[in-house]
Amino acid sequence: MSEARFQRVVLVGRYQTAGVGDTIDDIARELSARGHEVMLDSETAANIQSRTLPSIAPEAIGDHADLAIAVGGDGTMLGLARGLAGRGVPLLGINHGRLGFITDIPVEAWRDALDAILRGHFVSEHRTLLSARALRNGEVIWQDIAMNDVVLQRSSRSGMIELEVHVDETYMYTQRADGLIVATPTGSTAYALSANGPILHPQLRGFAMVPIAPQSLSNRPICLPDDVRIRMRVVECREPRVSCDMQVFEDLQPGDDIEVECAPQSVEFLHPGGYSFFATLRSKLYWHEFPIIDRRRRQRDD
């Protein structure tokens, strides 16, 4: 495959992380040497003080880029994905952060991975998003999209939040908890995982609904198909808030409804050839290591 498919490349970096500017400069030089047109998003360009590359406003990336590369952590990739949702621009993530579930290329391996992808040796997958909106007396007062999750929860200064949950207008339950997470398969390894939610394969057509510290232990996570609409009504809470990928809307009141469903947009991720979601889980969650007690027993037996 010709590299012409990715002629125009935009780099977006987590500029607060030490060394990101140097990595971006190296990637830009490599791409330019191969004949690609390279741009920085304007915020990255301003903060790494690059004067050699043209910059582009974040909202214009979808109109001008053939490929977008995030250099940072998963948060950098999430922000870029939300901005490019439905725009047809594939994303590539180089991990310059800590965990890196979706920025899956280690920073020390970016040269080989980028070379393979530019030559057409890659795995492409489309990740689903969620669409959320808040309604008060039937009127929309807020709406957004989420790549990872929609979270309805109490503030840090209030008690539990009481929610009434419907799925496709069918009553499901009323629960008291610290909150409720609706997570995509991509987001199942984020906040939902820390709340003991299930891990969903990225290609699974569904999402997980995970309570946060529920008052009743019988309130358990549940997986739902992606063609349903979830409606969460705030029954009682002094300071309820809702967020899409940590972008918080705080102006909620008891009686407000939060509706969540699968978004019509999707985002294309590119991975180097041979990519495996299970390999990522083994690496990030240390599934390949025996527990300490087992290691000690095995060493003793040897």
Burial of residue 228 (number of CB atoms within 10 Å: 0-12, 13-18, 19+): middle
Least Cα distance to 35 among 1, 69, 4 occurs for 4
Q: How far apart are the first and last CA of the chain?
A: 51
Tokens of residue 92, six digits: 């590539």
Task: Mention every residue, 6+ apart, whose C-beta is less than 8 A from residue 302.
Answer: none
Cβ contact 193:185 at 8 Å: no
Task: In whole angstroms, give the CA distance from residue 212 to residue 210.
Answer: 7
Phi, psi of 140 (to 5 degrees): -75, 125
Task: In whole angstroms, give the CA distance from residue 17 to residue 294.
Answer: 37
Q: Which residues pair with 208 in a beta bridge?
A: 183, 223
Tokens of residue 102, six digits: 């979706």
Task: Mention every residue, 6+ apart, whose C-beta is less than 8 A from residue 204.
Answer: 185
Catalytic annotation, pick one of 41, 74, 245, 256: 74
Q: Check if 178 is active-site.
A: no
**Residues catalogued as catalytic:** 74
